[in-house]
Amino acid sequence: MEDEDFEPCELAEEKDEGGFKAPLPDNEDAASDASMDSEGEDFENVPRRFRTDSESTTDTLSSVSSSYSVGSNISTVSRLSMLSSGSTIASGGIFKEDEKEVEPNPEGPKSGPDMSRLKDIKHKQKRTDMYLNLLRQKRRQKMKERKQRKMARLESGEKAEEKKTIESMRKFDETTVEPDDAEVDWEEQNDELSDYFNNGTVPKILIMTRNAPKGPMVKMCHELLKTIPNSQFFFRQGFALKKIIPQAIKKGFTAMIVVSADRKWVPNDLKIIYLPGGPTAHFKMSSVRLREKTKGGDTPTTHLPELILNNFKSRLGRRIGRMFAALFPQVPEFEGRQVVTFHNQRDYIFFRQHRYIFRSEKRAGLKELGPRFTLKLR
């Protein structure tokens, strides 16, 4: 076959002498027509094949599309609608399977009103009123079910499930130490703050700012002076801390508090420096609310406040808690009924100051004095 020469010809372009296209020649390959010349073959014995559903649907679509061919007066939109109706047949018209019945929810119907009909209300105000009414009904239904569960627990004596909060779902901190840890106790008895806790040294605090205070910065320093007993304010006037610290040690100050602010003079930074040899803590300050903006805020009295340190359980937390404790005298004056709280939660330290009053043997009232702010160790 490789040695034979074939003459190329274009059957569709052959023309005779008159310029007309020549007809195709007869097929000289007898083998290709062998199947067509079988005169004695019996076609009646061939099994009959029926048309499937998909083929019937295809023929239906082709007949619909061919009936609306070019030149028809029917618009394109109507053709598309006819074709879409044909596609509906294909997707599940006459050949659509029986739909399965939806099984009922074994847990029972959901509590509360049905809100599925709100979309049928076209008037916006009526739809809003109906939505709020349904929310109130749903809230009442939940309260009713909650009371029923509570009564059932009281009758059976079961305890309520613990609420899932961020603190309860938090992973256990490996740095948490026990209150009676011997190693930590030895470190605390020999650290830089041991003179305050062992000998009862009276703290003396020096408060200053990073630069000249203005606006909220001045008010914040004034409120810190009212909150921390035996504290004094120093106008820094551009002096470096290296020059201020020796003079503060000579005058008997035990710690320094340096407050910084942003461009709008809102406090955003706080440093606590213990003299003479440390330690030093640097905090980011946020969520500052001064006493004048605190709801029901009042000026604290000159009584020494009580101190509450909450949730300082890790090794670092106990050291930070001791630094806060060393700012206040160890002997509070209970007549003033004032308490300062440092609450540690998710590595944020929340500062609050309250005045309490005993309304009865089991009830007490609180009044926030201010200021309030949040600290995070840098």
**370 pLDDT above the threshold of 60:** yes
Question: What confidence score (pLDDT) does residue 298 get?
Answer: 84
Q: Which two tokens stand for residue 206?
A: 């020096």
243-291 pLDDT tens trace: 999 999 999 999 999 999 988 889 999 999 999 888 999 999 999 999 9
Question: What confidence score (pLDDT) does residue 374 get?
Answer: 96
Question: What confidence score (pLDDT) does residue 83 get?
Answer: 44
- Helices 76-92 and 53-67 pack at an angle, to 10 degrees, of 170
What is the distance between the alpha carbons of residues 307 and 341, in angstroms, rounded to a whole number? Answer: 6
Question: What confidence score (pLDDT) does residue 171 get?
Answer: 79
32-69 pLDDT tens trace: 444 444 444 454 555 555 555 555 555 554 554 444 44
Q: How confident is the model at residue 79 (pLDDT cuts 50, 70, 90)?
A: very low
Question: What confidence score (pLDDT) does residue 85 get?
Answer: 47
Q: Which amino acid is at 61?
A: L
**75 pLDDT above the threshold of 90:** no
Residue range(s) in the chain whose domain bears CATH number 3.40.50.10480: 182-377
- Helices 315-325 and 182-189 pack at an angle, to 10 degrees, of 30
Look up the CATH number of domain 182-377.
3.40.50.10480
Question: What confidence score (pLDDT) does residue 100 get?
Answer: 52
Question: What confidence score (pLDDT) does residue 82 get?
Answer: 47
What is the distance between the alpha carbons of residues 98 and 93, in angstroms, rounded to a whole number? Answer: 11
**91 pLDDT above the threshold of 50:** no
Question: What confidence score (pLDDT) does residue 45 get?
Answer: 57
294-343 pLDDT tens trace: 887 888 899 999 999 999 988 899 999 999 999 999 999 999 999 999 99
**Residue 248 CB neighbours (<10 A):** 21
What is the distance between the alpha carbons of residues 222 and 338, in angstroms, rounded to a whole number? Answer: 18
129-174 pLDDT tens trace: 989 999 999 999 999 999 999 999 989 888 888 888 877 787 777 7
Q: What is the mean pLDDT of residues 178-188?
A: 85
**345 pLDDT above the threshold of 60:** yes
What is the residue-averaged pLDDT of the chain? 78
Q: What is the mean pLDDT of residues 173-201?
A: 85
Question: What confidence score (pLDDT) does residue 238 get?
Answer: 83
Contacts 24+ apart (CB under 8 A), 142-146: 142/111, 142/112, 145/111
**127 pLDDT above the threshold of 80:** yes
What is the distance between the alpha carbons of residues 223 and 341, in angstroms, rounded to a whole number? Answer: 15
Q: Which two tokens stand for residue 332?
A: 């509070």
Question: What confidence score (pLDDT) does residue 310 get?
Answer: 94
Q: Which two tokens stand for residue 180?
A: 């009676």
Question: What confidence score (pLDDT) does residue 213 get?
Answer: 86
